[in-house]
Structure 1
């Protein structure tokens, strides 16, 4: 269906309107900061003269979230034989709670007032009606305003630029849609050209923007809490320090993605034919500007995703759920242009698969990754896959375009990737071991969030805030226990023609279950219900003839790994077990 021009402009127009408040607010804050710096520079040349304090106090403004403070005073001074009165205390108007500047200044003013001692005032010689009692800069306060303004302005201007780029691309797409109404693979410029750039540059911008914004807010809030709040309960440190710790992780993520781009450049997938054909092939070459010569090869994955939306307490959450995946291990790369590398790509796409349909949420992605010393290589491409006249339900031909480059990875390498070990493998039997700690990353992540929520809940219990304390404590405790489970769980699988035995459990408390082939109806692969970002963890389970399904392996990050293991289990158990 052709895209109309008005529909194409809707998204960019909304983004433009959404960006305006950020841009205006950021520029106003930057202007305010620069004006403050100019005022501070001018005040350094003002004339010092003694002032008599008439009154002074610390003004406190209370709200539900926090309290802010402002040192106020009224004073009298003389200049050039004339007497003046003023109530301007500092160069920074308004109240705040960044640091203890306002409280300290009010304390010193109050002491001088009680002792009936003069306070030095600084008078503008060009306009003696203007004076100030403290002309210091407050560097941290100025940096905070400057950083806040830069973030808002950068976000707003970035969205404006993005809206402009989006409008241009949508215009091109609308034009191509009108020219090729029945060929959707020619309705996007990069698809039509057969040259698709990796989305890594967008990932870098997102990583830095998110990390910068998170760290700015979390560190400013934490510093403010530690410098202004007195006698904080011990449990609050768990909450206050948790956000900066997450910020450091996000900063490390942004640095790593930048190093990847610096080392490998921006990869481009050049398609042999457009589009990738259902019941046919997706083929081409990935051009890598960097010198990619991996010892362990390059793992290629072609995956069909369905974009799903899940309702949460914070609103709707969108993620990509893998439905089908095929892997190929390329043992070596080809020489590329300008000293770079080229990765050959060829996948057969089964006839029953669903074509690309962005409106319905059906997406196809080509991914390439390789473990290399220092910074790993990784690239992702959104590729067009459709039914065409070349689509065929016939089995793929015996010839393989990648025969010279492809290497079938042994089962042991797959197990090592998911934290397992191959005990023994024959044509009729298989022993797998997943030792204690094989899911330590997931366990530590859940443990951290469990402590965060649990610490908050315990603190609320101490404050007798029962309504919030109980759910926070229960949720935090549950997440923490799940983390301990993943850290200490051990799994042993033994599969043979006589049946399947699974031993699993945490803390050395192992439970054993055994199934004969006659008791097994099917071995299934499905989403486990656990996600981390866009990674949807997969699980392998047994569907017995009677009773509930029994999980064998969970938290597998790759659909192709789960499919291959399930197929191997079925081969050993016999043809009567379905997939």
Structure 2
């Protein structure tokens, strides 16, 4: 499919949720960092269950608050530890693959299906509602303190902070509902690779299956994304976050039309720059993706796929 095309070589910051790195800490540091959280959470849960004796008078809140806080600490620690161990296993697998096929990184850099990529909208919906549930559990003690505790007067600014986080939960749930409605309307799309892998400096041919049969407009964005771990300061506190930057992008638009059997054929000229090779096994990562957005009556269509673009040896 051809249309109006705009190429952008400027470095542009993208939304955080496009990152492939779940966190900025990996491997053994993640395991070690998560251990005290899991241990503290387990201790609080044992106190709540009565395995470890606890004087109820020493808890200035309902005993269920102790269980909620303990559960959140334990889950956070367990997540970091599992993430660390999985990262160690992936690192070992990548090192073995690099030794066996140093000039074929697509064999070990990522678990590619040579035929293409299929999306899973229901998985995304599940992630949204799990995230919302974690937020709700985290906010439950603060709701009790802000609105139901009679021991002390809570200032209005503190209640405002709780309401602000409630609004974030509403946004997460709303986006999850939107994605579920997309699934009901369009199902799961699939991007077929007409060749594997694709090389920088050459053409890339793709076929998208599962598009709306008719649309008011469609926008295709092909981009090379580079993750960066940036440090943020808040007073004396320091934290790191994953930030994505678009290094190269090409946008195509088509005002209106109909897809052929719910699909599109696309052909892209990839830039001849070997530094833009995919490194999905790296942390921070570097990758190519294509994003498709179509305006239709009712719920609009949008999908995002990774594509295997590598430098030719």
Please tell me the TM-score bracket, short chain as reference. 0.5 to 0.7
Match of 2:170 in 1: 248
The residue number in structure 2 matching 1:97 is 60
Q: 1:344 aligns with which of 259, 265, 268?
A: 265
Aligned partners of 1:283 and 1:345 also within 8 Å: yes
Number of aligned residue pairs: 278
> What is the CA deviation profile of residues 492-528 of structure 1, one whole-angstrom value per residue up to 9, with x for unaligned ones?
xxxxxxxxxxxxxxxxxxxxxxxxxxxxxxxxxxxxx
Match of 2:137 in 1: 216
In structure 2, the partner of 1:370 is 294
* Deviation per residue, 1:352-396 (Å, 9 max, x gap): 58422535864321112223455433322232323337xxxxxxx
Q: Output the CA distance in 2 between the equivalents of 1:236 and 1:27.
A: 29
Check conservation: 2:38, 2:76, Cα contact below 8 A.
yes
- Aligned pair in 2 of structure 1 residues 228, 326: CA closer, same or farther (>3 Å)? same
Q: Tell me, yes or no, if structure 1 residue 387 matches structure 2 residue 308.
A: no
Measured in 1, the distance between the counterparts of 2:264 and 2:71 equals 41
- Work out whether 1:269 is the aligned partner of 2:191: yes
Q: Shift in Å at residue 281 of structure 1?
A: 1.7
Q: Does 1:307 align with 2:243?
A: no
The alpha-carbon distance between structure 1 residues 160 and 229, as it changes in their structure 2 partners (threshold 3 A), is: same
Q: CA deviation at 1:345?
A: 3.1
| SS of alignment partner, residue 97 of structure 1 | coil
Deviations 1:51-86 (A, max 9, x none): xxxxxxxxxxxxxxxxxxxxxxxxxxxxxxxxxxxx
Evaluate the alpha carbon distance shift between residue 242 and residue 297 of structure 1 in structure 2; reply closer, same or farther with a 3 A threshold: closer
Task: Tell me whether 1:296 sits opposite 2:216 in the alignment.
Answer: yes
Where 2:215 maps in the other structure, the secondary structure is coil
Q: Aligned to 1:191, what secondary structure does the other structure show?
A: coil
In 1, Cα distance between the equivalents of 2:185 and 2:38?
33
| 1:144 equivalent among 32, 47, 65 | 65
Partner deviation per Cα, 1:89-109 (whole Å, 9 max, x = no partner): xx96242333xxxxxxxxxxx
TM-score, length-normalised on structure 1? 0.40
In 2, distance between residues paired with 1:260 and 1:145?
39
* In structure 1, distance between residues paired with 2:239 and 2:189: 35
Aligned residue number for residue 150 of structure 2: 228
User: In structure 2, what is the Cα distance between the partners aligned to 1:354 and 1:342?
Assistant: 32
Structure 2, unpaired ranges of 5+: 1-24
Distance 2:188 2:180 in 1: 11
Q: Are the counterparts in 1 of residues 68 and 138 from structure 2 also a CA contact under 8 Å?
A: no
Q: Residue deviations 1:235-287, cap 9 Å, x none?
A: 55434433333333333334444554566555443311222222222222334
Where does residue 3 of structure 2 map in the other structure?
none
The aligned residue for residue 323 of structure 1 is 247
The offset of 1:303, in angstroms, is 0.8
Please report how far the alpha carbon of residue 329 of structure 1 lies from its aligned counterpart in structure 2 after TM superposition.
Answer: 4.2
- Partner secondary structure for residue 248 of structure 2: strand
Q: 1:548 maps to what in 2?
A: none
* 1:343, distance to aligned residue in structure 2 (A): 4.1
State the alpha-carbon separation in 2 of the partners of residues 22 and 351 from structure 1.
Answer: 47
Q: Distance between the aligned counterparts of 1:267 and 1:29, measured in 2?
A: 45
With over 3 angstroms needed to count, the CA separation of the structure-2 counterparts of 1:205 and 1:21, relative to structure 1, is: farther
Give 3-state SS (helix, strand or coil) of 2:167's partner: helix
Q: Which has the larger radius of gyration?
A: 1
Q: Distance in 1 between matches of 2:115 and 2:97?
A: 14
**Unaligned stretches of 5+ residues in structure 1:** 1-9, 37-87, 99-140, 336-340, 390-579
Aligned to 2:14: none
Structure 2 residue aligned with 1:188: 109
**C-alpha distance in structure 2 between counterparts of 1:256 and 1:386, whole Å:** 34
The two structures have a TM-score, normalised by structure 2, of: 0.68
Corresponding residue SS for 1:174: helix
Q: Which has the higher contact order (CA 8 A, sep 6+)?
A: 2
Distance 1:246 1:15, change over 3 A: same
Are the structure 2 counterparts of residues 346 and 214 from structure 1 closer, same or farther at C-alpha, using a change threshold of 3 Å? same
* Kept in 2: contact 1:199–1:379 (CA 8 A): no
Change (3 A) 1:374 1:158: farther
Deviation of 1:181 after TM superposition, in Å, equals 0.1
